[in-house]
Structure 1
Amino acid sequence: MPRRSYDHYCAVSRALDVVGDRWSLLVVRELCSGPRRYSDLFADLPGISTDMLAARLKDLERDGILTRRKVGPRAGTAVYELTADGAALRPVLDSLSTWGTSQLGERRATDAVRAHWFALPLGRAIAQRIPAGTATVHIGDSAFHYVITEAGITHHDGPAATPDLELRFDLSTATEVATGVRSLADAIERTAPQVSAP
């Protein structure tokens, strides 16, 4: 199927030609923290159909946003990961996250939620507390970590080996910090027995 285009000689429209289709940026969001198998992506993108996910992955691979590689003893399993061009979309997602926070409102009964979806806004809050270093965040059974440098913030699957800061939140507290209802300092104070900082 030929790629649709706005046919505008404009950087924004060219970008949207590549990542403007429904689900595309959410696939990128899922890959920001590291490689994922198809089944992982499908599980963490509630509401997407298998056909739509396969189409988006194929489109994003064709456009150089992600790559697919075989892993495992017989290379029977594939994982998808961002290319350098795909990883360069992180600031775009961060800006959308900042803007979208005010659009969240109250969580609706029909809203799906995954702990790692709070990685972008929590990362901004953590970077204000530790301008350089690593931090691990546990939300329920989920864990991810940040690497904060002068170049920016990245987040990755799993805990850091030796974090400068380690936080444990329930989903409610993580939501409050991510949406600005509660400050990170207040959340840390309230969960002090669960916080470790060397």
Structure 2
Amino acid sequence: MATTRTYGDACGIARALDVVGSRWALLVIRELLLGPLRFSDVQRALPGASTNTLADRLRELGDNGVVTRHRLPPPAGATVYELTDWGRELEPLLVDLGAWGLRVPKADAATISATSVLLFLRGSASPDQKTPKVVLRLTLDERVFRVILDEAGAHVAAGDSDAYDASLECDPATLNDLLCGDLDLDTARVDGRVTIDHPSSVQLLIDAIPTQQQSEGSS
């Protein structure tokens, strides 16, 4: 395993930070939790990181066995980055870290990515047991996701759905505002912040976020 920097400390925490402790590394990993991405997708999700920095982080994570790089088969043919099985083991740690970080005040003009909002949705949704199963097609930042809401919670995956009950297209910040209770769906429609069909089904998704979770907001 290649590491260019080390704390020189035998503790497992220090050894983990040798691998994922560089600036932007954990956020790159966060973005890959919902599936493989092109470099441009990662760059769009993390606008504060320079192109060279992202390239360095992806290369380091690849050298250390956390991320793999491969080319999709035709007709896509794009090169994508994807978490290895070992890298995916970081997901529960990142989710817990995000929950811990909600107590930290937000920075002014802070951005938020589609993946961050969807991880918040997946971790926070607690629908009523009588809530009917709903399949939603969600488009955020030109990426398409499938969200299934049922009595067990919200299940999120990248990719389209052959059949869905409702669709919603908006930017990640708008979805975050809807889920956190800072914006209601009717206002978002009137203001043109969302493109939507079957709003009652989308409202079920919003209503699945408990009030306490709404006040805390997304990580």
TM-score of the two chains, using structure 1 as the length reference:
0.71
Aligned to 1:79: 80
| CA gap 1:173/1:40 in 2 versus in 1, 3 angstroms | closer
* TM alignment of 1:45-194, pairs within 5 A: 45-73=46-74, 77-105=78-106, 108-109=108-109, 111-126=110-125, 128-129=126-127, 136=136, 138=138, 143-146=144-147, 155-161=156-162, 168=168, 174-176=175-177, 194=199
Q: Please give the alpha-carbon distance, in whole angstroms, between the structure 2 residues aligned to 1:48 and 1:147.
A: 32
- Give the drift of 1:97: 1.5
| CA gap 1:70/1:115 in 2 versus in 1, 3 angstroms | closer
- What stretches of structure 1 of length at least 5 have no aligned partner? none
| CA gap 1:74/1:122 in 2 versus in 1, 3 angstroms | closer
Q: Which structure has the higher relative contact order (CA within 8 Å, separation 6+)?
A: 2
- Give the drift of 1:4: 1.1
Identical residues among aligned pairs (%): 34
| CA gap 1:153/1:24 in 2 versus in 1, 3 angstroms | farther
Q: Please give the alpha-carbon distance, in whole angstroms, between the structure 1 residues aligned to 2:5 and 2:121.
A: 35
- Give the drift of 1:147: 6.9
Aligned to 1:29: 30
| CA gap 1:12/1:195 in 2 versus in 1, 3 angstroms | farther
DSSP 3-state at the match of 2:201 = coil
TM-score of the two chains, using structure 2 as the length reference:
0.66
Q: CA RMSD in A?
A: 3.8
